[in-house]
Amino acid sequence: MPRIDALLRHLVDLGGSDLHLSAGAPPVFRVNGRLQKTRHPPLDPGEVEDLLAEILSDEEIARLEDEGDLDFSYGAEGLGRFRGNAYTHRKGWAAAFRWIPGAPPTLEQLGHPPVVAELALAQRGLVVVTGPTGSGKSTTLAAMIQHRNRERADHVITLEDPLEFLHEDDRCLIHQREVRRHARSFAAGLRAALREDPDVLLVGEMRDTETIAMALTAAETGMLVLGTLHTQSAAKTVDRIIDAFPAGQQDQVRAMLAESLRGVVAQVLLRRADGRGRVAGLEILVNVPAVAHLIREGKTFQIPSVIQTGRKQGMQLLDQHLLELVNTKTITPEEALRHAQNRALFERMVSAP
């Protein structure tokens, strides 16, 4: 058994999310969003290299040494899977491991409202799950795929870097492909997928203009495309997609996006008031005709107003959801204020009788 499994077991026993290994420091766990140092003595550079060498292939080690960082996945017997990133720094090697529970949670378990399940079952178009690093985007996407898997008989192709949750066929036929192992890049994998008769494409990260362009094309031609970005709100997600293209193409992209976008789920992870784990704070945009008009006309700054008044369509601003979570005592006002988009207004809403 690789020696790192003992540290990963400790992480799981603590209910933590991440393990950090770094030359010159003891192992560190992240539990409920906070870092916890262990009593383990600092790791010397050779120890970190030895721990990683036990679980990485020679090819992966060569790529780490050549490029300075490496994404990978690792399965530990009895513990589940872990998403890993190894990298070099001034003291030697370091690595971060993110625990991936064995089976994806359901959308209901994640606290997502019914509109997210509706987006997961859309016949065609683009759905973007967005948020900062570590906000649970991959988990939400996995739950959406599982929901589709239970409800529809479709062909699903995922492009991930690395593979995280593993899906078994239920009603769907699911092919999971890992970037660099099964496809040269997201763009190359997406280009190939367009010839593989998919009903649903999951693009783990829409990192570049080429990938975004092909995702839009796929969404326009009758597939459901699920993807992620690292934006902070629904409106900024729309801007990020448009701004990825040269100015001369942006009018065309606005028209394509106004037609193909189905929705945006923007999320952050919040510490629960009782200290028992975290809960998602959600902003949800549904591309109703008013939103499509604003996208087409380049007036995305008005999108938050449409979201605010679109509760009947399942829409909500992040600050609206934060206020609900405060009122139900799920999170503290202080935690909500840390993540509020309009801090001054939110502070007044929380303090109002």
The tens digit of pLDDT for each residue in 256-270 reads 999 999 999 999 999
Q: Where are the alpha helices (DSSP H) in 129-276?
A: 137-151, 186-193, 209-220, 234-243, 250-260
Residue 352, pLDDT > 80, answer no
| pLDDT for position 207 | 87
What's the first-to-final CA gap in the chain, in angstroms? 58
Indicate whether this model's pTM tops 0.75. Answer: yes
| pLDDT for position 353 | 60
Binning pLDDT at 50, 70 and 90, where does residue 180 land? confident
Average confidence (pLDDT) over 292-320:
97
Type of residue numbered 80? G
Residue 33, pLDDT > 90, answer no
| pLDDT for position 335 | 96
Adjacency order of strands within the sheet including 34-37: 34-37, 28-31, 18-22, 92-100, 80-89, 69-76
Helix (H, G, I), strand (E, B) or coil at 331: coil
Binning pLDDT at 50, 70 and 90, where does residue 141 land? very high
Question: Tokens 């290299």 label which residue?
Answer: 49
Average confidence (pLDDT) over 29-38:
91
As a whole number, the mean pLDDT across the chain is 94
Average confidence (pLDDT) over 149-162:
96
CB < 8 Å & 24+ apart, contacts of 96-102: 96/18, 96/19, 96/20, 96/21, 97/8, 97/11, 97/18, 97/19, 97/20, 97/21, 98/17, 98/18, 98/134, 99/8, 99/11, 99/12, 99/16, 99/17, 99/18, 99/19, 100/138, 100/164, 100/165
Closest to 142 (Cα-Cα) out of 158, 130, 125:
158
Type of residue numbered 312? K
Average confidence (pLDDT) over 200-221:
94
Average confidence (pLDDT) over 323-341:
96
| pLDDT for position 349 | 84
Q: Where are the alpha helices (DSSP H) in 83-223?
A: 114-120, 137-151, 186-193, 209-220
| pLDDT for position 308 | 96
Percent above pLDDT 70 for the chain: 99
Residue 323, pLDDT > 80, answer yes
Q: Is residue 122 packed enough to be buried (19+ CB in 10 Å), middle (13-18) or exposed (0-12)?
A: middle
Pairing relationship of beta strands 261-271 and 278-286 according to DSSP bridges: antiparallel
| pLDDT for position 279 | 95
Does residue 184 or residue 155 have the better pLDDT? 155
**Domains of the chain as residue ranges with CATH:** 4-100 (3.30.450.90), 114-316 (3.40.50.300)
Structure tokens at 315: 């829409």
Residue 295, pLDDT > 90, answer yes
| pLDDT for position 317 | 97
| pLDDT for position 103 | 81
Q: Could you report the per-residue pLDDT of 59-100, keeping only the tens digit for each?
A: 999 999 999 999 999 999 889 899 999 999 998 999 999 999
